[in-house]
């Protein structure tokens, strides 16, 4: 639909019959397709089964690697160069990835992720971030803190 619509832009100031055939084709078809898509997504959402336990299990399968970006963003705030931060995060992430590939457990007895354990044991990292700061990077609430605001805006 983009091509006929874009070709139509050049003729907006000229209302004649030369482009009406394309309008008769793509405008209704685009709206019918959009209507179909809306009904389909409505059906998907209405019948969606959310399994929080499975979601958490899948996140935990990563050994905490899902939090590497947050650690990477915290280090420059603590005065570490972006390059050094990347090197620290990648070094520990690769250790975790290799251990996951070998079938090692992704958590310890306390339920702490493998990645968190490696970060807490990394002296270079610990010289820049405290244990509390590192643990805060692994807080799921950080990622969902604006959910209520988003829903309020969407359903306003």
Is residue 77 situated within a structural domain?
A: yes
In a shared domain, residues 91 and 127:
yes
* Statement: residue 90 has pLDDT above 90: yes
| CA distance readout (Å), 10 to 3, 20, 26 | 12, 13, 16
In a shared domain, residues 64 and 86:
yes
CA distance 130 to 71: 12
pLDDT above 70 covers a percentage of the chain that reads 95
| CATH number for the domain that contains residue 102 | 1.10.40.30
- The more confident residue out of 7 and 87 is 87
- The more confident residue out of 156 and 14 is 156
CA distance 20 to 17: 5
In a shared domain, residues 22 and 90:
no
Domain containing residue 11? 2-46
In a shared domain, residues 99 and 138:
yes
Q: Which residues contact 138 (CB under 8 A, 6 or more apart)?
A: 64, 67, 70, 113, 116
Asked if residue 32 lies in contact with residue 46, where contact means CB atoms within 8 angstroms, the answer is: no
Structure tokens that stand for 107 in this block: 């958590």
User: Average pLDDT in the 116-143 region?
Assistant: 96
In a shared domain, residues 69 and 130:
yes
Predicted pLDDT of residue 1: 73
Predicted pLDDT of residue 108: 87
For 5-56, what is each residue's pLDDT tens digit?
Answer: 777 776 667 767 766 777 777 888 889 999 999 999 999 999 999 999 999 9
Question: DSSP assignment, residue 50?
Answer: -
Is residue 155 situated within a structural domain?
A: no
* Statement: residue 96 has pLDDT above 70: yes
User: Average pLDDT in the 63-67 region?
Assistant: 95
User: Average pLDDT in the 75-96 region?
Assistant: 97
Question: DSSP assignment, residue 14?
Answer: -
Is residue 70 situated within a structural domain?
A: yes
State the total domains in the chain: 2
User: Average pLDDT in the 100-128 region?
Assistant: 93
In a shared domain, residues 71 and 133:
yes
CA distance 79 to 127: 11
């Amino acid at each position: 639909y983009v091509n006929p619509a874009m070709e139509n832009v050049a003729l907006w100031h000229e209302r004649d019959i030369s482009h009406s055939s394309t309008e008769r084709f793509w405008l209704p078809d685009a709206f019918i397709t959009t209507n179909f898509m809306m009904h389909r997504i409505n059906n998907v959402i209405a019948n969606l089964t959310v399994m929080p336990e499975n979601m958490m299990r899948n996140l935990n399968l990563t050994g905490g690697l899902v939090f590497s970006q947050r650690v990477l963003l915290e280090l420059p705030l603590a005065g570490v160069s972006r390059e050094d931060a990347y090197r620290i995060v990648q070094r520990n992430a690769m250790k975790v990835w290799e251990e996951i590939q070998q079938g090692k457990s992704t958590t310890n007895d306390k339920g702490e992720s493998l990645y968190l354990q490696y970060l807490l044991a990394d002296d270079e990292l610990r010289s820049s971030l405290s244990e509390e700061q590192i643990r805060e990077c692994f807080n799921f609430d950080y990622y969902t803190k604006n959910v209520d605001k988003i829903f309020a805006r969407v359903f306003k």
